[in-house]
Amino acid sequence: MDVKRTVVFGGTFDPFTLGHLRIVEQALSFADEVVVAVCENSQKRPTLSADVRVELITRVVAPLPFVRVEECVGLLTAFCKAESIRVAVRGIRSAAHFEEEQVMAEINRRLYPELVTVMIPTAPELAHISSSAVREIARHGGDLRGWVPDVILEDIARAYRA
């Protein structure tokens, strides 16, 4: 019996970056399907609505087979249970980032014991990229080439410009 290996990549993606895209591409190397779950976080106030973020990410991943983008309302673990997903992937930029993600993985495991978190190290050439850095660069009219996918570059520049 073949079981489809679906993984989730959850985040606020405010905005989606080249680093995020690389994680999706790497996840496809071991998964049959990647679900990009656009989540809300009560500790963050996204600039763009979840609907707009879903639309932008959908444009980015359109050329990739077996990737879908969904809005995640509530806890990621509840989303995973509802979708019968048992693997979450996370990108790791640094040792400090690993420790934060390790804590979150344990919280998720306690909420949904079947959920395994796979941490994917960020490619060194992308390790400097973060959504917060992109927001700051965009607010000041900086060049976002090399930070966000070209297909959404102008949308991101407009949306986050001060």
Q: Domains of the chain: which residue ranges?
A: 6-160
Query: Which residue is it, tokens 């990621």?
Result: 76
Point out the residues that are catalytic: 20, 44, 93, 131
Confidence band (pLDDT; 50, 70, 90) for 94?
A: confident
| CATH class of the domain defined by 6-160 | alpha beta
The yes-or-no verdict on residue 20 having pLDDT over 90 is: yes
pTM: 0.94
